[in-house]
Structure 1
Amino acid sequence: METRELRYFVAVAEELHFGRAARRLGMAQPPLSRAIQRLERRLGVPLLHRGTRAVSLTEAGAVLLREARVALDAVEAAERRTRRAASPSHGLVLATKAGAAGDLLAKLLDAYAAEPGAVAVEVLLCGPGEQERLLRDGHADVALLQRPFDTTAGLDTEDLHTEPQILVLPAGHPWSGRPHVTMAEVTGRPDLPLPRWPGPGGRYPDGPGPRVRDHTQLFQLIALGRACALVPESLRPQLREAHTTVPVPDAPPVTTVIAWPPHSRSRAVAALVRTATRL
């Protein structure tokens, strides 16, 4: 399979519409349809269920979508890392979610800068979930991720810090005086739903909660009484008087990890990881 064919298929599989996919790719619809048909014939399996108005993925198509994303990310990452390695000012690019693990990040940067042979570290502050994508597609050399929010499959990682989650509520909420709440109570409140974060392709999952893109937007919605949220305890300093928090003992703990591509042979990445684990 060619990367061009994979890009065509991913566009159709994500849009679930040949016309929209063709516009996204900047091409006409008929050659796009023929390219997908050729791919199906070569593989010997149908990838799409074609309807009069839209299409849907077959089981084989869903598998190819997952694999194609990985393959295309790997190709693009190889291109970016190759160009960056040839740059005279080549340093390290570290991606991390804005506002997350702030104290740990500051200590890590200071400690690494004091190491012999340390290189410059560019910090990419991004929205929730973006740091994983930046690492996988080659925009970053290393990233701070948080399980269970981020997926670390296929990456090399070292655990750095584990902390509990707390429930953020609008100030004055009836639960504000309680010593704790349970996950069953949190997920069973349609009047104060949990937010929905964008997933792969920028698509939001179905559900009653508001769509959010960053913590600034989320915390304002909570202050307005439109949502509640489970967040790591380390985000508590970012809250305002308009918020209150309650412990959720049975919520899954959040583990901050440092992650890097498994094929990396960068001495700078290795030194940064050693510094992080030592901290």
Structure 2
Amino acid sequence: MNYRHAFHAGNHADVLKPVVLLALLDALRRKDSPFFVLDTHAGRGRYRLQGEEAGRTGEAAGGVLRLAGAVDLPPAVARYLEAVAALNPDGGLQVYPGSPLLAAQALRGEDRLAACELQPEEAAALKALFAGDARVAVHARDGYAAVRALLPPRHQGRRFGRGLVLVDPPYEAQEAEYPQVTAAVREALERWPQGMCAVWYPIKQRRQLAPFFRALRALPARQVLLAELLVRPDDSPLRLNGSGMALVNPPWKFDQVLAPALPALRDRLGGAGASTRLEWIKREA
């Protein structure tokens, strides 16, 4: 699957991911000590929904635009919509944030973000976006290799004891990408045991993900939580039927944060046969 983010900005998968991401960042913000975020596949950071790519596909109409004006939303979904609205002060929805921009919004003065992007044009746009923001370092490099180079995180000789590694690859190699993903997460955990990891993954047919889930269970982690949103039945291998976030060592009781959010997204973004999944596939005491 060639998942170029600009073509899919604001679609159902691009709603689930920031909802989960912001909830994780908010959990990190609840403690005073600084945290570090590594975004391995950051993209350009900001997208125009009326631009050439997103405007051509119109996928936001089945995603974020369906949430416009919604009321009585669970806190995690409302938090996401507030973050998007903050980037559109004139009203409407013209600009859609990628994961590094949302992460930067959540950073405090001592927190740090390292955003990696391999494609030259995307990396240049990302550097321009964060020019002058001392909290954000943009690396034009392979995100998987950055795990070894940048972890454990340090700033001015000080190590960060807390933080998040976000792994959100385009899955251009389809199933062949999963071994790279799990290898990167394994290395992240070995180099930075205190850190959390969050992995986005596409769902065409859920049964095809079984080897990936087995590999996640084998990681040197205490807990692995899956949060999935399918907007249609997973019976078509040719469509993106849904997506999920695999959360490795998430915050305490994080499933309770997501529990009301997933059904709300299903009801507003899904069609016939839509479903959700929130399941611990590994949970040690």
- TM bucket by the smaller chain? under 0.3
Structure with bigger gyration radius: 1
**TM-score, structure 2 as length reference:** 0.23
**TM-score, structure 1 as length reference:** 0.23
